[in-house]
Amino acid sequence: MPILGSFVVPHPPLIIPGVAEEERAKIARTVEAYEKAGQRIAALEPEVVLIISPHSIMYYDYIHISPGGEAEGSFAEYGAPQEKYRAEYDTELVEAICEVAEEMNVSAGTKGERSSLLDHGTMIPMHFINKYYTDYKMVRIGIAGLPFKEHYAFGMCIKEAVERTGRRAVVVASGDLSHYLKDMGQYHYVPQGPEFDARVTMDLAAADFKKFLYYDENFCDAAGECGLRGFIIMAGTLDRTAVKPEFLSYEGPFGVGYSVFAYEVLGEDEDRNFLEQYLDEENERLAEKRRLEDEYVKLARKSIESILINKKLLERPEGLPEEMLSERAGVFVSLHKNGRLRGCIGTIKGQEKCVADEIIVNAMAAAFGDDRFDAVKEHELEELEISVDVLSPPEDIESADLLDPKKYGVIVSRGAAQGLLLPNLEGIETVEQQLTVALQKAGIPKRTEYGFHIKRFEVVRHE
């Protein structure tokens, strides 16, 4: 039995009676749309409702599914203790999802629950469903810090488990959009906020779920979004499925975006195999990028491959460009995978005989010696994107006015403490941001009475 239907809903606590009655009228369109969603779910008469909430148990590298037979919760912390909810879990379906996830090598399961209490991201959809329908069991699912493609793959696991168990199932992705639409309350305005909401609502309205897999995570983080990974899990449950999308509402009067969408399942559609399409396109992109790597990046890659494949240190190859052999300079080697940093090690000044040797040593250190990450594994080689930055000699500057985060890297120091930040980094748009991050890396308090020295440098980036 396939998924019967899917829904995207928000979870503002003030939508619950007794929490903030005077504010509830300001999101009347969201309330009305939520009522429609609840009625639609009731009409489908599901045996199980799977609710995906970003406020459930969350781990960086593991998607959590709530274990046990039941759970309870209330809105006591929001001033409405009378609003209580109880969920009976579908343990057989949970077990099936875990089995499929293990088969598909997706990092998900029921381990590590820190609290069994229902979260507001789960209870708010329950509130509107229970008004019209209560004859269902539930599966509560969280999100993780995993890449978007892993969340989509987990949605595919859910779909397979639902089909194996023959359940009549509805999927509800509970999540707000940007929290940075206005300077209001605890939130503030950033331009990425409205841009994110416009893009997400457009792609949800078109059911163009493949586009989510290409969203830049730094852009999403800057927008302060909440629900995207849950939406992507929902999208995965509809892989190879024809759907009829229906936009029910969008508004953001409090500086947070709230959207409601419904998806009617029409049948199979093999052309909507979005994860497979994405992986094929991404593999082609990475292969082409590897083909176009210059000698600097190729040397860094060879250094890493030599350790993983040949189990030995790379000897400097013949035929390298003269400037790599005759010059000494500081070099940073950066590794990225799935758009995320996977390792970065470098030197401010040349420590080896030449730039080529500097690249060989620092590439090896970035892959296997960056304490922030596990060592790179052989199966990751084709997914690695590598950049090599060759630094100019750092120069002292008297004022931060002489910095430009797109052109210059920065070194801050006070005593033995020192922090470096490369130029032209994602998410670093201003000098203030650049200095803040560099000071954090150095462990230097950002307070004028302490003072610190500033140096700047330029780089030639190879990628």
pLDDT band at 404 (very low <50, low <70, confident <90, very high): very high
* Domain boundary, last residue among 278, 308, 324: 278
Query: Which residue from 437, 384, 438, 380 is spatially nearest to 411, judged by alpha carbons?
Result: 438
Q: Which tens digit of pLDDT belongs to each residue from 364-384?
A: 999 999 999 999 999 999 999
285 in a structural domain: no
Domain range for residue 202? 3-278
138 in a structural domain: yes
What's the pLDDT at 151? 98
What's the pLDDT at 428? 87
pTM of the model: 0.90
Q: Can you give the CATH number for the domain in which 359 is found? A: 3.30.700.20
Output the average pLDDT for the chain. 95
Q: Which tens digit of pLDDT belongs to each residue from 28-45?
A: 999 999 999 999 999 999
Q: What is the mean pLDDT of residues 192-200?
A: 96
- 198 plus 335 within the same structural domain: no
Contact 32, 283 (CB under 8 A): no
Query: Which residue from 174, 384, 429 is spatially nearest to 290, judged by alpha carbons?
Result: 384
102 in a structural domain: yes
441 in a structural domain: yes
Strand-pairing partners, residue 48, are: 137, 169
Q: Find the radius of gyration of the CA atoms of the chain.
A: 25
Q: What is the C-alpha to C-alpha distance for residues 87 and 73, in angstroms, rounded to an integer?
A: 9
106 in a structural domain: yes
Q: What is the C-alpha to C-alpha distance for residues 2 and 85, in angstroms, rounded to an integer?
A: 28
For 96-131, the three-class secondary structure string (H helix, E strand, C coil) is HHHHHHHHCCCCEECCCCCCCCCCHHHHHHHHHHHC
287 in a structural domain: no
43 in a structural domain: yes
284 in a structural domain: no
pLDDT band at 1 (very low <50, low <70, confident <90, very high): low
Burial 220-232 (b: 16+ CB within 10 A, else e): bebbbbbbbbbbb
Q: Can you give the CATH number for the domain in which 75 is found? A: 3.40.830.10
- 33 plus 152 within the same structural domain: yes
pLDDT band at 449 (very low <50, low <70, confident <90, very high): low
- 268 plus 371 within the same structural domain: no
- 324 plus 341 within the same structural domain: yes
- 145 plus 271 within the same structural domain: yes
Domains of the chain: total: 3
